[in-house]
């Protein structure tokens, strides 16, 4: 469910979720080839899902290798993140592309920018991936001068990532009796969603950190904190003490072996 396309004549970007009804109606009546998909340059077709979600799709018969389709929940969350950032006063683009200094390309679900010019990439990950891939993609953003941030469902993505990080830090557990289930490279916000094909009507609450430090935040609060540089990761003290600071992740899940 692509959200952006381009006017073939002017190069102007169209954004499905933010277009007026009138502009959307005109786009739907445009002849084939008048609107083009990003990256492939193939003809775009404005569509509306059975849930009423607007999007752009490649014209049937497109010879290019097409990206995997996004789920309904993925698209809705991407739109909510972009809209919320704009309401907070930040620049935000969906499906924004960029590249590192050595030419490695990337596409961010949402790319936001502060007044000072600091850029943040908000990635939505609804499919499980290896912790190595989380780090690789985050590092790629960092090499582009962009701060990466992840949004993911609690199950199965966040829970599997947590288990992978705990496994990496077994030596710390053996020494201190506490599991380390976060890491500096991966800033993660999680959501309780029932599946990829459902999404709440209201803005969802998101979770940050774990154990005694867990915070459940409205989406605008989480995004404002991220744009303000609030989330920080620190290695735990090792003696059970915790730092008390808003949106600070200490890296300790507070889980014990008996659990």
Q: Are 225 and 247 in contact (CB under 8 A)?
A: yes
Residue 37 CA to residue 5 CA, distance in Å, equals 5
Report pLDDT for 179.
Answer: 81
Per-residue burial over 150-175, b if 16 or more Cβ lie within 10 Å, else e, is bbbbeeebbeebbebbbeebeebbee
- pLDDT tens by residue, 123-164: 999 999 999 999 999 999 999 999 999 999 999 999 999 999
Among 41-45, 47-51, 154-158, 252-256, the minimum mean pLDDT is found in 252-256
**Given this model, what pLDDT does residue 239 score?**
47
**Residue range 163-172: mean pLDDT, rounded:** 89
- State residue 182's pLDDT score: 81
Q: Other C-beta atoms within 10 Å of 32: how many?
A: 9
In the 8-state DSSP scheme, what is residue 155? I
Whether 48 has a pLDDT exceeding 60, the answer reads yes
Q: pLDDT at position 252, please?
A: 41
pLDDT tens digits, 200-224:
999 999 998 776 678 889 999 999 9
Structure confidence at residue 184 as a pLDDT band (50, 70, 90) = confident
Quick one: pLDDT at residue 235? 62
Distance CA 25, CA 27 (A): 5
Give percent of the chain above pLDDT 90: 69
Contacts of 102 (CB under 8 A, 6+ apart): 143
What is the pLDDT of the chain when averaged over all its residues? 87
Our CA angle for 231, 237, 240, nearest 5°, is 105
Across-strand partners of 4? 15
Bridge partners for 45 per DSSP:
57
Residue 253: per-residue pLDDT: 41
pLDDT for res 1: 73
Q: Is 137 or 259 the better-scoring residue by pLDDT? A: 137
Q: Does residue 246 surpass a pLDDT of 60?
A: no
The pLDDT confidence band at residue 237, using thresholds 50, 70 and 90, is low
Highest mean pLDDT among 127-131, 175-179, 243-247: 127-131
What pLDDT does 196 receive? 92
Domains detected in the chain: 4-58 (no CATH), 72-249 (3.40.1350.10)
Flag whether pLDDT at 117 surpasses 80.
Answer: yes
pLDDT of 109 above 50: yes
């Amino acid at each position: 469910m692509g959200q952006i396309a381009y006017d073939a004549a002017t190069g102007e970007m169209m954004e499905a979720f933010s277009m007026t009804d009138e502009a959307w109606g005109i786009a739907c009546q445009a002849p084939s080839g008048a609107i083009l998909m990003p990256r492939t340059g193939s003809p775009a077709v404005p569509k509306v899902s059975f849930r009423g979600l607007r999007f752009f799709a490649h014209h049937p018969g497109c010879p290019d290798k097409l990206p995997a389709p996004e789920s309904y929940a993925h698209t809705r969350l991407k739109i909510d993140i972009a809209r919320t950032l704009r309401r907070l006063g930040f620049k935000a683009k969906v499906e924004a592309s960029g590249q590192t200094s050595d030419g490695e390309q990337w596409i961010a679900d949402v790319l936001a920018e502060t007044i000072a010019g600091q850029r943040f990439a908000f990635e939505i990950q609804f499919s499980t991936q290896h912790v190595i891939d989380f780090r690789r993609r985050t590092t790629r953003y960092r090499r582009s001068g962009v701060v990466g941030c992840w949004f993911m469902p609690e199950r199965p993505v966040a829970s599997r990532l947590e288990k992978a990080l705990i496994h990496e830090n077994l030596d710390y557990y053996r020494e201190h009796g506490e599991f380390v289930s976060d890491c500096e490279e991966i800033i993660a916000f999680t959501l309780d969603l029932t599946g990829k094909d459902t999404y709440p009507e209201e803005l969802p609450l998101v979770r940050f950190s774990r154990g005694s430090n867990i915070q459940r935040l409205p989406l605008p609060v989480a995004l404002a904190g991220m744009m303000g540089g609030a989330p920080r990761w620190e290695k735990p003290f090792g003696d059970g003490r915790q730092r008390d600071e808003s949106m600070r992740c200490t890296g300790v899940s507070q889980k014990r072996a008996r659990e």
